[in-house]
Amino acid sequence: DAGVIQSPRHEVTEMGQEVTLRCKPISGHNSLFWYRQTMMRGLELLIYFNNNVPIDDSGMPEDRFSAKMPNASFSTLKIQPSEPRDSAVYFCASSRGADRLNEQFFGPGTRLTVL
C-alpha cells in the first residue's frame, strides 16, 4: 500500500509566484483533506472533499488559495500569488467513505518556503 502521496516534498519559491501542491489519496478512499501546519497556528484544516466534491472550504485563508479534485485519484492545492506568510508544511489526508468517524491517513507533507 503506497499510502497518500504528495509532491513536491519541498518547494522554495519567491513571493508572487504561483505554487501548486499535488496529492494522490489512497486508492478506494473517497474523502480527501488538505491541512496546513505552522508553529504559530498548529495543524489547520483548509478544505475537504467527499467524492470529489468540496464539502467545507471555510478553512481556506483567502482567495489566493484554491483547491480542486478533478477525479478520485488526484487533488491540487494552488496558491496564487504566494506570500511569505504562506510558508508552512501542507498535508493531504484521505479516508474511506463519507463517515466522519473514519480514520484519516496523512501524507508526508510538502514543506513550502516563500521568500
Partner 1 sequence: GESVGLHLPTLSVQEGDNSIINCAYSNSASDYFIWYKQESGKGPQFIIDIRSNMDKRQGQRVTVLLNKTVKHLSLQIAATQPGDSAVYFCAENDQGGKLIFGQGTELSVKP
What part of residues 38-67 is at the interface with partner 1 (CB under 8 A)?
A: 38-40, 42-45, 48, 55-56, 59
Is residue 10 a contact point for partner 1 (CB under 8 A)? no
Binding part of the chain for partner 1, among 15-23, 68-76, 105-113 by CB under 8 A, reads 105-113
Kind and range of the H or E run holding 74 = strand 74-79
* Burial track 68-94 (b if 16+ CB lie within 10 A, e otherwise): ebeebeebebebeebeeebbbebbbbb
How far apart CA 46 and CA 58 sit, in angstroms, is 7
Is residue 93 a contact point for partner 1 (CB under 8 A)? yes
Chain residues binding partner 1 by CB under 8 A are 4, 38-40, 42-45, 48, 55-56, 59, 91, 93, 100-101, 103-109
